[in-house]
């Protein structure tokens, strides 16, 4: 796996919307955060466009991604938001271009599909973290989440435990090693059977999602189970599942019962309640790097994502 070069003050960041169109007021408000980090920025062609539930056509969104990787003056790429649509053009991307121009790529949610594709086909370490229009430009964005961006400037081993957020729980005890892979559960389920499913064998699987009812989470986890994914991982990190309350059905299992059904009997370490994803505070981390999950002592140690 290739680790991108660290950022330095004065570097220019490319801002793109590779899935849906961002909230423009929030995006505009977020720019002060980049300035405070000492970074310059430039908008891609998709940052201010809108095309139905997408930010732009597939061809334009693909071109925006490739252009930001191609340009020598762009040191890193931060996504404006997620939404839907990254998978529509992923199979047409020039992965050799991305491989030859490794740089920081940051986002989450629908961006999961791109994270996994870049790891599989460009050997690139990417970053799962809060986005400009979805998180940073809102009043709910916390300083604790903002501090996560410092890992892009200095190679830093990260530790997630109760000091970041009290609430991590042990589902299955033990210690596991492996690369952290995964992200949004909906995108992972949709990637099963494609060349863009992350390599989960012997690795730590991270899952998160938002506004999915327990029966929907159940169905997606069952898809991973039937595909053999859950039987090959070295450990599982269950991150944020905000808005997961039952809505359509009066009678429902609660989310913890769903997690217990799929994970309690696994013979690998499992934790839940990790503040990664659609939540505040939001712990950001590199994907594709080595990590240690100590489920017994409720801690995750993660290798630095930049060089």
- Kindly list the catalytic residues: 109, 208, 278
The per-residue b/e assignment along 243-272, b for 16 or more CB within 10 angstroms, e otherwise, is ebeeeeeeebbebeebbeebbeebebbbbb
Give the 3-state secondary structure of residue 168.
Answer: coil
* Residue corresponding to tokens 């986890």: 221
Contact predicate 219/249, CB 8 Å: no
Burial of 123 (0-12, 13-18, 19+ CB in 10 A): middle
Helices assigned H by DSSP within the chain: 24-36, 58-70, 95-100, 112-122, 143-146, 185-191, 214-226, 255-263
Distance CA 81, CA 270 (A): 29
Give the 3-state secondary structure of residue 78.
Answer: strand
Contact predicate 205/182, CB 8 Å: yes
Q: How many contiguous H segments (helices) and E segments (strands) does the chain have? A: 8, 14
Q: What angle do CA 27, 139, 26 make, to 5 degrees?
A: 15
Of 183, 191, 187, 185, give the one whose Cα is nearest residue 276: 183
Contact predicate 291/301, CB 8 Å: yes
Q: What angle do CA 123, 125, 127 make, to 5 degrees?
A: 145
Distance CA 254, CA 245 (A): 8
């Amino acid at each position: 796996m290739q680790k991108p070069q660290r950022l330095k003050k004065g570097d220019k960041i490319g801002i793109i919307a590779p899935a849906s169109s961002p909230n423009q007021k929030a995006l505009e408000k977020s720019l002060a955060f980049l300035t405070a980090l000492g970074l310059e920025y430039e908008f891609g062609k998709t940052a201010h466009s809108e095309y139905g539930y997408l930010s732009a056509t597939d061809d334009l969104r693909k071109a925006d991604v490739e252009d930001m990787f191609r340009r020598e003056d762009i040191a890193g790429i931060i996504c404006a938001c997620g939404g839907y649509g990254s998978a529509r053009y992923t199979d047409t991307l020039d992965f050799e271009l991305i491989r030859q121009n490794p740089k920081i790529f940051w986002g989450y949610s629908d961006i999961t599909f791109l994270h996994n594709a870049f790891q599989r086909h460009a050997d690139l370490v990417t970053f799962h973290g809060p986005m400009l229009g979805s998180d940073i430009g809102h009043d709910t964005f916390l300083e604790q989440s903002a501090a996560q961006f410092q890992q892009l400037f200095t190679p830093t081993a990260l530790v997630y435990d109760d000091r970041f957020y009290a609430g991590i729980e042990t589902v299955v005890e033990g210690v596991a090693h492996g690369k952290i892979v995964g992200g949004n559960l909906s995108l992972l389920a949709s990637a099963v059977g494609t060349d863009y499913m992350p390599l989960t064998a012997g690795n730590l699987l991270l899952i998160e999602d938002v506004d999915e009812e327990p029966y929907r989470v159940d169905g997606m986890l069952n898809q991973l189970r039937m595909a053999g994914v859950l039987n090959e991982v070295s450990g599982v990190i269950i991150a944020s599942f905000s808005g997961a309350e039952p809505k359509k059905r009066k009678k429902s299992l609660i989310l913890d019962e769903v997690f217990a059904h799929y994970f309690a009997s696994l013979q690998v370490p499992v934790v839940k309640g990790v503040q990664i994803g659609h939540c505040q505070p939001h712990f950001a981390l590199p994907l594709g790097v080595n990590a240690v999950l100590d489920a017994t002592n409720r801690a995750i140690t993660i290798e630095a994502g930049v060089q």
